[in-house]
Amino acid sequence: MKKPAIQHPTLINSLRLAYSAEKAAAYAYLGHAASLRDPVVKTRIHEIELDEWEHRREVRAIMDQYELPVSTWFEFKYAVIGRIIGLSCHVIGRFMPYFLAGKLESGNVCEYIVMLRYFHELGITEHDEVLYAMGLKEKEHEVFFQEMIEGERWLPLFEKVFAWGAGTTLNDVDLDESLPVDRAGDYCQQYKERKAS
C-alpha cells in the first residue's frame, strides 16, 4: 500500500471520518426535511443538507491532494447511521431532531478548526480558509438549531444531560465577533477530539 503524502495519523483519521460523517449528516437532513410541513423550515433544512454535501466535496478535495483513501468502513457505517436518523425524524417528534442535530453541529465546528491546527503541525496553512469556513458554517447551523429549540419544555432536562442546548455550546466560536482566519486556531483549545472506530 502506498504511503500517504502526509504523516499525521490523527489528521488522516479526522479527514476520513469527516468525509463520511458529512454524508451521514446529509442523509439525516434529507429525512428531517421530509418529515416537516412548514415550507420555510423545510427549505432551511434542505439548505443545511446542501452545505453538508459541499463540505464533503471540500474534504474529498483535500484528501485527494494527499492521496488519502476513503474509508470503506466509515462510508458504510455513516451511510447507515444517516439513513436511520433520517427515518427516525418521522417518528420521534419535533424536539429531538432539532436538539440532536444542534448538538452534533456544535461539535463539528471544532472538528474543522482542530484539523486546521493539525495541518499547522505539519507546516501546512493552505487549507486554513476552507477549513475555517466550514467550521463557521457548522456554527451557523448550530445557531439555527438553538433557535428552533428555544422554549421547549424538554430543553432544561436535555441541557443538563447533554451539556448542550439553547444557552450552551460545545465550542467557543462567536459568529458576531469571529476571529480572522490567521487566528482561527485560537478557537477550540479545550476541545476533545471525537474518536472513531
Give residue-wise pLDDT tens across range 91-135. Answer: 999 999 999 999 999 999 999 999 999 999 999 999 999 999 999
Q: What is the pTM (predicted TM-score) of this model?
A: 0.92
Chain-centre distance of CA 103, in angstroms? Answer: 9
Domains of the chain: 9-186 (1.20.1260.10)
**Which residue stretches of the chain are H helix?**
9-34, 39-65, 72-88, 95-121, 128-149, 155-162
First to last CA, the chain: 21
Residue 197 pLDDT grade (very low, low, confident, very high; cuts 50, 70, 90): very low
Tens-place pLDDT, residues 1-56: 555 678 999 999 999 999 999 999 999 999 999 999 999 999 999 999 999 999 99
Backbone torsion region of residue 43, taken as left when φ is above 0, otherwise alpha when ψ lies between -120 and 50, otherwise beta = alpha
Residue 191 pLDDT grade (very low, low, confident, very high; cuts 50, 70, 90): confident
Tens-place pLDDT, residues 48-70: 999 999 999 999 999 999 999 99
Chain-centre distance of CA 153, in angstroms? Answer: 26
Residue 195 has pLDDT above 60, yes or no: no
Residue carrying the nine cell digits 442535530: 101
